[in-house]
Structure 1
Amino acid sequence: MDDNRTDKVLLYKGVKTMIFAVLTLFMGPIILSMALSQPENKLYIPLLVVGLLICAFAVFLIFKGIRLIMNSMFKK
């Protein structure tokens, strides 16, 4: 018989991924604003690159978290 229940382990993993995504959603723009507020600082380019990478990673984590949550509810 087909069991139509949510996979709780996969759901927990998806929620945990979304929590990390929210953290990086806040951390990325904060680092970017720190970098852009002082362009004459010698750490301008490294902070800018790190901030952009964190923002891109946040978008990746959002898609991965949503996919995991959907897979836990609607099994493939």
Structure 2
Amino acid sequence: MPTNRKILAKGIKYLSGALPLLFMGPIVINSSFKNQDSPYYEIVLGVGILLCGLAIFFMFKGVNTIVKSLFDGDKYI
């Protein structure tokens, strides 16, 4: 059963998009907790949580796409 390389590359792109978000999200959240007296505290915290959520989504999507490229081929994409 051959691997579909186009779908595999798509999954790797999702994972490479998640990599910077994995670092940026916690850094932004930590920065917001250090500046709790700032008027932008809630906004910066929300942005950090959103970045972490996007990182989780892109990781899930990337791993799911890679698994589909290895086992299912073009059946579900």
Q: Same fold (TM over 0.5)?
A: yes
Which consecutive residues of structure 2, in runs of 5 or more, have no partner in the other structure? none
- For residues 1-51 of structure 1, give each alpha carbon's deviation from its aligned partner in whole angstroms, at most 9, with x where no partner exists: xxx211101000100100111111101001101111010011111000010
State the TM-score, normalizing by the size of structure 2: 0.90
- Find the aligned partners of 2:10 and 2:43 in 1 and give their Cα distance: 32
Q: Which residue of 2 aligns with 1:28?
A: 25
- Offset, 1:59: 0.8
Say how many residue pairs are matched. 73
Query: Which amino acid in 2 is paired with 1:24?
Result: L
Q: Which residue of 2 aligns with 1:17?
A: 14
Moved over 6 A (4+): none
Q: Output aligned runs, 1:51-66, within 5 Å.
A: 51-66=48-63
Q: Which residue of 1 aligns with 2:43?
A: 46
Which consecutive residues of structure 1, in runs of 5 or more, have no partner in the other structure? none
State the TM-score, normalizing by the size of structure 1: 0.91
Q: Equivalent pairs: percent with the same residue?
A: 37
Query: Which amino acid in 1 is paired with 2:2?
Result: R
- Find the aligned partners of 1:11 and 1:47 in 2 and give their Cα distance: 35
